[in-house]
Homo-oligomer: A and B are copies of this chain.
Amino acid sequence: MYPCVGQNRHMALRQALLGLLAGRPMSGYELTKVFDRSLREAWPASHSQIYPELARLQREGLIERTETGPRGRKTYATTPAGVEEVRRWLRTGEPDRALRNEAALQAFFLWLLPAEEARAWLRREAAHHRGKLAEYERQAEVAPTSGPARASRLVLEWGIRYERMLVEWAEWAEGELPSLRGGASAGAGRPPP
């Protein structure tokens, strides 16, 4: 009857918070900073999302308050149920792999620009990802070589390969540009001015 009763399908924010707190107890403020420093590229989240979610997690018994610091600072830690919930999430079926990629979308419509501007777009793209790549490579140099924190190195490597791939793609695509305005094959549409 009810295909999707009560439970939401997404909620990755909860598990991310639980996962971070499984590492060590933290306050909402600290979590916000960790999100912004380490998880921003994989799952951005701001304090206005984090604070209410922490309250919910506490109400559901997945985390608990440990101590109260100076200016109303509240430190949280995972309960055993909380850690179990992250594990359940990691074990259960496929993660949501839907992407929303504005740059790829723009590439799809590059044929609407005159060749000169399409080339400029690809060069901007390559430059951006070259910058990112350099940044990640610098981070990789100082990353720990073992222990749990090493998991973040796995994700960093993901980022490095991703950026490198995009630099190479943009360079390849620039070479392909001439074929875009070649013969009048399917799709048609007026050529750019």
Contact = CB atoms under 8 A, between A and B. Distances in A.
Nearest to A110: B151
A95 to B, nearest CB: 4
- The interface size bin for chain A is 35 or more
How many identical chains are in the complex? 2
Q: Summarize A's interface: helix, strand, loop or mixed.
A: helix
Contact of A157 (B96, B151, B157, B172): B172
A52 interface: no
A110 B90 contact: yes
Contacts of A111: 148, 150-151
26 contacts: A16-B108, A23-B187, A23-B189, A24-B187, A39-B108, A42-B100, A43-B101, A44-B98, A87-B112, A87-B113, A90-B117, A94-B128, A95-B105, A99-B100, A104-B158, A107-B151, A110-B154, A145-B179, A146-B180, A147-B181, A148-B185, A150-B182, A150-B185, A157-B169, A158-B166, A161-B169
